[in-house]
Structure 1
Amino acid sequence: MHRRHFLNHAWRGAAAASGLGAVQGRLWAAAPEGASTPPRLLMVFLRGAADAASVLVPVSSDFYYEARPRIAIARPGAQADAALPLTTDWGLHPALAGSLAPFYQQGQLAWVPFAGSHNLSRSHFETQDSIEYGFDDITAGAKQQSGFLNRLAQQLGSQRRDSMAFTDQLPIVLRGALPVPNLRLASSVRNAVDERQAALIARMYRDQPLAGAVAEGFEVKREAMRDMAAGASAEMQAASRNALSSSGFEAESRRVAQMMRERYHLGFLDVGGWDTHVNQGNATGTLASRLGELGRGLAAFADAMGPAWRDTVVVVFSEFGRTLRENGNRGTDHGHGTVCAVMGGRVRGGRIAGEQVAVSAATLHQNRDFPVLTSYQELFGGLFQRLYGLSPAQVQAVFPGSQPKDLGLV
């Protein structure tokens, strides 16, 4: 069995404490200028292509409202469930009012519209893979045999215990020369490998080439369990103070925060379910419910990070956006340009960043989608350069052949 695959199976069984409270939306002050604390970075991948025009609503565009007669989000002030005003051109989905809007208002959240990959396949799988490799061309990415976060960790001189994929399988973005563990914290304890089974497996691999990897895999799992057990009591108390139940993502994000504030400085997790071809809804409905859960989960992560939030950056992105025009099923189809959220105590937020154009029929990509004006390689490269002080050569090592675009996000 391949070493990475064995470690995946050994780690994925760890379980976390349950029973978490509702989001309180606490904001922590930004880190002082010149702070020396190492930054923490969490990348959140929305798999399935989230609808950018519903998250960040182009409220000044008459064409947007013509193109979406049944699923558009109303202009600010038009009705109770209208978009929240951000600028004269942009509004925020009302499902994010109690979660992400406060971060924008406090200058800890920036939105980057017209972002994404230049891959034109409109395939979820190809585009996701190409983004994780860090290339628009999936073939070139596969030849690289590593993901961009693994290459970033190598440039930062990271060790195994600095990075973690909070996923069931090790994603492409963290595969590469630097071994990185993966662990889905919400896994059921019933699926865990107990100590007796771990000892049997370790004996089975004794004096074999994989013996060290097996032992290390179980030790990472034990450490994760100890870390989560230490915070279980506080989490259960938080739940008992609030009658509302938390969503799965909110619970997961609190567990991720617990581990990142104590040990990991580079993390990755993914959230599925964004492929809204049918009955997408507008201010209410399928997409609104998912956005509400996402917003509460991100706010819960910030809250659970505590003072460490001052040194944290969270990047939320999706493989592509969706068609600007609604389809015949009150949904949207696979698009191109999307929107990226960058939030955290280190973020220079409260603004819409990056190159922008008016949303009209004339500016659509292939007469159907938002264009990509800032590629992910440019966006992430510029962010990493600022956040970590990477040299041009180091940025090239992370994103070969791409030039970073400094949007002043941190």
Structure 2
Amino acid sequence: MTSRRGFLKSGGLALFGIGLGGLPSFVAKAAASVKAPGLFKKRKTLICIFQRGAMDGLMAVTPFTDNYLKTARPTLFMSAAKTGNAKSLIDLDGKFGLHPSMKAFESVFKEGRLGIVHGIGSPNNTRSHFDAQDYMESGTPFNKGTSSGWLNRAVGLLGHDGATPFQAVSLTSSLPRSFYGDNPSVAISNLQDFNIQMKGNPNGANMASKSFEDLYDQTTSSLLKDTGKESFDAMKMLNKTDTKNYKPGNGANYPNSSLGNSLKQIAQLIKMDVGLEVAFAESGGWDTHFNQGTDNGIFARNVNDLSESMMAFWTDMGTLQDDVTIMTMTEFGRTVKQNGTGGTDHGRGSCNFILGNDVAGGKVHGKMNTLAIENLEDGRDLAVTTDFRTVFSEVADRHLGINKDTILFPDWKGSHIGMMKG
């Protein structure tokens, strides 16, 4: 039988399953008794964005001096040279060029706040979207049986009781694989709808089916104070916040896209000071087999949305920028050679972006050899030279202060690459 204390500490998440109809009267009364909002000590927040579908890192950040790439992509290759009316790459360091649709990133890269890792990927060479995403989100690329996600383990390693139900939040319709596990986490499809899913949390689901009145009927005020006050306070704050009419700070202008809306809501939660420490969002449409385009087309639209959404969030954070780091991830990259339909197929290495004041930015990290066929993985792909766990662990360690890599990534024995300061 579930204890009332256990329910309040870990099952409080299930309360949100009834949010669509408003808070029940007994919960509302408990929340009303909490008079002081913002009780959560200000914490660092890591925001992870999964680019589902496998981003072409060679087009996002192009080694434009590599003649092998130019030959392999006769209609997709872009140059940093300014010629005619064609948009050129943004020269980052004389070797790598940023896609012109990611111009929003140029200033933060030059300021040393945005770092890029090239040749990042999984040591498992699968080219299956499902398997590669599963391995990356579990953080165990050779173990399909891992029940928890690496971000859920990160939540458990933060060193304090997750009294707030907003400690780990995914702005998605269902809980991502990264958040599966024993530590509390929730998926919120939209703050305005107050619609939160409990998928992946059997204990929470079982408790949600019970009568809340029965679980609370003998709860003493001291027990509520000891274990539930913060959760009720967070519910009260969210329930009274006008999320629909949120006004971003500092003139930030979010794209009207799924990712833009997700990051805007994450910004709201951070500003509400409800104890958010790990947030997750998604960006789709990166599987560019056909008509990938260059300075126009599906890829250009996707990278524009990614960079504009991240920069709107960064601008919105204002004085809170020291407290946030944003990191992207994608399951694998694309083939070096373009295919016959103006696209690229499933590959291996890609690149990712890390934005924050604690990032060793202004540099393209990682190792990339020339794209001569003898240097390609399986004779066709950008080789994976940086294990994704190398970067994920360093960001989690430096920004969240975890420093328990053997638990966060149990099968990894690598070392950091200086992606973060300190």
- TM-score band, normalised by shorter chain: 0.7 to 0.9
Aligned mate of 1:375, from 387, 406, 410: 387
Match 2:156 to one of 149, 154, 157: 154
1:361 aligns with 2:376: no
Equivalent residue runs for 1:178-327 within 5 Å: 178-185=183-190, 204-207=211-214, 223-227=237-241, 229=242, 232=245, 234-235=247-248, 246-261=256-271, 262-263=273-274, 264-327=276-339
Counterpart residue number, 2:4: none
- Match 1:82 to one of 88, 102, 113: 88
Aligned equivalent of 2:416: 406
Point out the structure with max Rg over C-alpha. Answer: 2
Shift of 1:145: 1.3
1:11–1:183 Cα contact (<8 Å) kept: no
What are the equivalent positions in structure 2 for 1:117-132 lying under 5 Å apart? 117-132=122-137
In the alignment, the residues of structure 1 paired with residue 240 and residue 209 of structure 2 have an alpha-carbon distance, to the nearest angstrom, of 20
Equivalent-residue separation in structure 1 for 2:118 and 2:285 (angstroms): 21
Residue of structure 1 in register with 2:398 after alignment: 386
Alpha-carbon distance change, 238 to 341 in structure 1, aligned in 2, over 3 angstroms: closer
Partner SS, residue 96 of structure 1: helix
Q: Provide, for residues 286-305 of structure 1, a one-character-per-residue CA deviation record: whole Å limited to 9, x for no partner.
A: 11011111111000110111
Displacement after TM superposition at 1:238 (Å) = 6.0
Gap regions ≥5 residues in structure 2:
1-9, 22-40, 198-207, 220-228
1:327 deviates by 0.7
Identity %: 27
* d(CA) in 2 for partners of 1:203, 1:135: 35
Pick from 92, 97, 106 the counterpart of residue 91 of structure 1: 97
Taking the aligned partners of 2:249 and 2:407, their CA distance within structure 1 comes to 44
Q: How does 1:159-174 map to 2 (within 5 A)?
A: 159=162, 161=164, 162-174=167-179
The residue identity in structure 2 corresponding to 1:224 is L
Given the alignment, which residue of 344, 349, 362 partners 2:356? 344
CA distance in 2, matches of 1:269, 1:221: 21
Q: Where does residue 222 of structure 2 map in the other structure?
A: none
Query: Is contact 1:160–1:180 with CA below 8 Å preserved after alignment?
Result: no
The SS at the match of 2:247 is: helix
CA drift of 1:409 comes to 2.3
For residues 64 and 208 of structure 1, do their structure 2 counterparts lie closer, same or farther at Cα, with a shift above 3 Å needed?
same
Contact 2:118 2:366 (8 Å CA) reproduced: yes
- The 3-state SS of whatever aligns with 2:190 is coil
Aligned mates of 2:343, 2:251 — CA distance in 1: 38
C-alpha separation in 1, matches of 2:19 and 2:284: 18
Equivalent pairs counted in the alignment come to 369
Partner Cα distance (1:280, 1:332) in 2: 7
CA distance in 1, matches of 2:18, 2:334: 35
Q: Which amino acid aligns with 1:295?
A: S
The runs of 5 or more residues in structure 1 that have no matched partner are 15-35, 194-200
**Which of 75-84 and 325-334 deviates more?**
75-84
**Corresponding residue for 1:328?**
340
**Letter of the structure 2 residue corresponding to residue 303 of structure 1:** T
Task: Report the AA paired with residue 277 of structure 2.
Answer: H
Q: SS at 2:327's partner residue?
A: strand
1:338-395 alpha-carbon deviations (Å, 9 max, x no partner):
101111122120001123322322211111111111111122122323334444xx21
Deviations 1:153-208 (A, max 9, x none): 1111241532212211111111112121111237768x799xxxxxxx99855426
Deviations 1:244-299 (A, max 9, x none): 97334223312211212433121111111111111010111111011111111000
CA contact (8 A) 1:134 1:377 kept: yes
8 Å contact from structure 2 (residues 122, 141) kept in 1? yes
Q: 1:160 to 1:150 in 2, by over 3 A?
A: farther
C-alpha separation between the residues in 2 aligned to 1:388 and 1:203?
A: 36
